[in-house]
Amino acid sequence: MKILQSRSELALWRQKLSPAKKLGLVPTMGALHAGHGSLVSQSVADNEDTLVTIFVNPTQFGPDEDLDRYPRDLEGDLALLAQLGATAVFAPPVSEIYPQGPSHITFAIHGLDDRLCGASRPGHMNGVLQIVTILFHLTRPDRAYFGLKDYQQYRIIQTLVEELYFPLEIRPCPIVREDDGLAMSSRNRYLEGAYREQALFLQDTLQRLRAAREQLCQPGTLDTLLTAQQARYPLARLDYLEILDGRTLSPPAAITPEQAPVAFIAAYLGDTRLIDNLPLWDYPVVSDL
Ligand code: AMP
């Protein structure tokens, strides 16, 4: 497995790949777990070459967020990636990606980036779109892999690629969970003791919403459910809980399978912010959403 740290090393490596072979890209911020691993394995299965990027992108963190303490474990990450069969890893310092300081270009994807995490974390989706655009241009992959755990991120990246004719295909991958249902996340490392137990607030609330999907159109159902959940999980502080059309990320006209409604949740356990989502009916074909 080749380890690349500069744009020039990456360019040289990319140049040598045969045009007849497919390259899969898996962008990550490192501190890898089995969720990231599933994306890498999917890319290794689909493509002759797989490039994984490890870069904690400063432009997607707000001023009061956890950029400085975001977990980093390059050695552990490289061991896992070698085992999974990645061809190369691009792990540049910030100065290689933003040599002139933060990008001057701002992205907005109307209707998709102003809700959910886009609303709770101003500037976050712009930072995500900056870094994926930079990585797509530097690496020129045939396919890029994104987890449905970050559903909104997946939808905005898919829209960017589709509407601006980026020459690659976006492949969504299912959420990988711990045995008790908690969605795997690099930030789960922050959770200790009771906070780890109460992190189940997210998944448990989503499952109860799905179980109550036929009643959700009746006024009060959602509020009653949420009040009960907050009593069960007093350590969890809700950021948002929304049911949106999985294609447009706008409020669905009705809560029926035709609207592909997806429930989205974000909550703080202490200082740790976690997100999760669940379709209220199984997805039709995710890549068509
Ligand atoms: P991150 O390192 O958090 O930026 O995540 C890198 C990629 O891994 C993103 O496409 C995430 O959606 C994906 N990912 C993170 N956690 C999971 C998970 N539990 N299951 C599936 N994909 C995930």
The pick from 77, 136, 149, 206 for probing ligand 1's pocket by mutation, whose C-beta has the most ligand atoms within 8 angstroms, reads 149
Task: Give the span between the Cα atoms of 284 and 156, in whole angstroms.
Answer: 19
Stretch 239-255: mean pLDDT: 94
Domain 2-173: assigned CATH number: 3.40.50.620
**Residue 283's pLDDT band (boundaries 50, 70, 90)?**
confident
Looking at the chain, the domain(s) classified CATH 3.40.50.620 span 2-173
pLDDT > 90? residue 287: no
Percent of the chain having pLDDT more than 90? 94
Yes or no: say if 177 and 203 are a contact pair by the CB < 8 Å rule.
Answer: yes
> Which residue's CA lies nearest to atom 5 of ligand 1?
28
Pocket of ligand 1 (CB under 6 A): 28-29, 35-36, 38-39, 146-147, 149-150, 173, 175-176, 183-186
Q: Is 36 a catalytic residue?
A: yes
| Cβ count within 10 A of residue 197 | 14
Yes or no: say if 196 and 203 are a contact pair by the CB < 8 Å rule.
Answer: no
The average confidence (pLDDT) of the chain is: 96
3-class SS at 243?
Answer: strand
Question: Could you give the C-alpha distances from 102 to 34, 61, 68, 187, 201, in angstroms and in order?
Answer: 31, 12, 16, 24, 36
51 token code pair: 């490039």
pLDDT > 70? residue 289: no
Report the candidate in 232, 206, 92 with the shortest Cα–Cα distance to residue 149.
Answer: 206
Task: Give the span between the Cα atoms of 279 and 243, in whole angstroms.
Answer: 9
The Å distance, Cα 17 to ligand 1 centre, comes to: 26
Task: Give the span between the Cα atoms of 278 and 71, in whole angstroms.
Answer: 26
Higher pLDDT, 227 or 289: 227
Strand-pairing partners, residue 49, are: 23
pLDDT > 90? residue 78: yes
Q: How is domain 186-281 classified at the CATH fold level?
A: Pantoate--beta-alanine Ligase; Chain: A,domain 2 (3.30.1300)
Question: Could you give the C-alpha distances from 47 to 99, 144, 159, 176, in angstroms and in order?
Answer: 31, 11, 23, 21
Stretch 140-166: mean pLDDT: 97
> Which residue's CA lies nearest to atom 17 of ligand 1?
35
Q: What is the pTM of this model?
A: 0.97
Task: Give the span between the Cα atoms of 37 and 79, in whole angstroms.
Answer: 12
**Residue 16's pLDDT band (boundaries 50, 70, 90)?**
very high
